Amino acid sequence: MQGKTALITGGSRRVGAAISRRLHAAGANLMIHYRSAVQEARALQAELTAIRPDSVTLIQADLHETDGLPNLVHTTLERYGRLDVLVQNASSFYATPIGSISEHDWFDLIGTNLKAPLFLAQAAAAELRHRQGCIVHITDIHAERPMKEHVVYSIAKAGLVGLTRSLARELGPEVRVNAVAPGPILWPEGESALDEVSRQRIISHTIVKHIGHPEDIAEAVLYLIRAGFVTGQVINVDGGRSIKL
């Protein structure tokens, strides 16, 4: 990826940070988007630019603001002169059991996980076509097998899988579009945090009997960027959980 540029949404922490580090190690310049994790974003920028100066730029944006999404692309082009890879990693995640779902939940989860990826891909399409580039979406194994009490999230990720395949047809042959579907990689934080019993139950449903690491997702993303004959596909990185549910 020497000389190429990647725009990564939600690229400053957790899985997004692992993707940023892996693509940077492969030689890419990075435009790392964040919403509120400014300290993590600055720390990651400092870490990576210490390795290769002027190779990482940060951009803050609320992905719900659709009118502002083209600015992520324009800023990338102004800074690096090109955009070769769009990694759509940013995501909202929390439970929405039937009986408690609000319209805010719908707009938030659908907006972050589906609406923003569509409109950002649309904004990037011309430049990605010009560069024979690619898009990689981070979906979820629960797009295919919905998670109980996470109705809206599961719908949104299912839509993102559909968007992956639709964009592969719309933007091909110039642009390849694929997705990585993580299984148990990092445990949820905050109100969605799981107790130890729940964690062990999830681990027991994998074939490898342990959770994965963010680097596993990053390696899959890099593979899809390099895989010139792969488009419209979803790779499950889940320790076999999707075939054991």
How far apart CA 83 and CA 29 sit, in angstroms, is 10
How far apart CA 5 and CA 117 sit, in angstroms, is 18
Q: Are 18 and 46 contacting, i.e. CB atoms less than 8 angstroms apart?
A: no
How far apart CA 150 and CA 153 sit, in angstroms, is 5
Q: Are 92 and 140 contacting, i.e. CB atoms less than 8 angstroms apart?
A: no
**Which residues are catalytically annotated?**
153
Residues 137-161, buried b or exposed e (16+ Cβ, 10 A)?
Answer: bbbbbbbbeeeeebbbbbbbbbbbb
How far apart CA 36 and CA 12 sit, in angstroms, is 10
User: Helix, strand, or coil here: 164?
Assistant: helix
How far apart CA 19 and CA 91 sit, in angstroms, is 14
Quick check: bond before 117 cis, omega within 30? no
Strand partners, 138: 180
State both tokens at 140: 């979820």
DSSP label at 112? I
Q: Are 47 and 24 contacting, i.e. CB atoms less than 8 angstroms apart?
A: no
